[in-house]
Structure 1
């Protein structure tokens, strides 16, 4: 695909009962409309399948997806949403990190961690959290990928997170990834 096709983008989200073939149907529709999938995520939440895609293409291709997806969604029993967007403009950051934390499941932990990140001006790029049973207790774990802005002191950020981790009773690991 030539670069002039990538000046229009569409975020497409599909949710429905998990069953074989949904990804193939949706990606075929995108291909038939001459769009390119430039980013995507799939998750199974409960018995529900979720698929998020960022599509790129020329105006006609994006419009074709917008007009053909509703009928395909009904055929497949999916709830879908679409929103036009543009290329993400990355702010200046000094480094990218992952944070993995784990502990006993306690309501509000993820909210406190993400509020801490927001208060520091830290951009979360991706987040995955879940719960699991261990030793007859419910535990939670979370993985975040984030960028540290150039004006944030990473050492101070880590020290303050250490205090938060003690208050939340979670074990964690920071890793620099870029």
Structure 2
């Protein structure tokens, strides 16, 4: 089946999720996976859809004034063996390189970042990442994250994630 990766970015406004998803449904694009957020007054959305052509989706999204939309065909991915789910949280004074340092440590442990959110609130910087780790990697990763946290002057925690209940 045809699979499309779609991004939509622009100034946030009321009703934008409804507008985008209505346009996609009208083009015959079935939403299978998505993430949406507001970043300092800007709306950002990434979606995977099936059942429509690149051209039909681009045409459907064109009337969304002030938004930058990109659409491209992607190959459906094979199901991956999930690792053990963990949460990494970091908080402390804002400084350059926090995300880079923490994600390098996770990658070096064989971890895959599956979701990451950061927020700057005044001088406080907060990072929360969902990661899949290889079995048995958590203890060593915790030590390496503590070392990185000391170098960065931040606090870090690693804890097993609870399973999603749908």
> What's the TM-score once normalised by structure 1's chain length?
0.80
2:111 and 2:57 map into 1 onto residues whose CA distance is 38
* 1:166 Cα deviation after fit: 1.6
Deviation at 1:87, TM superposition (A): 3.3
Q: Does 1:155 align with 2:139?
A: yes
Number of residue-to-residue matches in the alignment: 162
Once residues 75 and 174 of structure 1 are traced to their aligned partners in structure 2, the CA distance between those partners, rounded to angstroms, is 41
Greater shift after overlay, 84-93 or 40-49? 84-93
| SS of residue matched to 2:62 | helix
Q: 1:92 to 1:75 in 2, by over 3 A?
A: closer
What SS does the aligned partner of 2:107 have?
Answer: helix
For the pair shown, which has the larger CA radius of gyration, 1 or 2? 1
**Corresponding residue to 2:117 among 115, 119, 128:** 128
Given the alignment, which residue of 62, 81, 97 partners 1:92? 81
Alignment of 1:40-59 (within 5 A): 40-57=34-51
Equivalent residue number for residue 13 of structure 1: 7
Secondary structure of 1:76's counterpart equals coil
**Residue 98 of structure 2 corresponds to which residue in structure 1?**
109
Structure 2: gaps of 5 or more residues:
none
Looking at structure 1, the residues matched to 79 and 160 of structure 2 have their Cα atoms a distance apart, in angstroms, of 18
C-alpha distance in structure 1 between counterparts of 2:60 and 2:79, whole Å: 35
SS of 1:162's partner is helix
TM-score (norm 2): 0.85
Equivalent residue number for residue 145 of structure 1: 130
Return the offset for 1:131.
0.6
Alignment match, 2:65: 76
Q: Is the 8 A contact 2:3 2:76 kept in 1?
A: yes
- Asked if structure 2 preserves the Cα contact closer than 8 Å seen for 1:102 and 1:141, the reply is yes
Q: Contact 1:70–1:80 (CA<8 Å) still a contact in 2? A: no
Residue 173 (structure 1) aligned with residue 162 (structure 2): no
Higher fraction of helix: 1
Instruction: Indicate yes or no: 2:7 matched with 1:23.
Output: no
Match of 1:33 in 2: 27
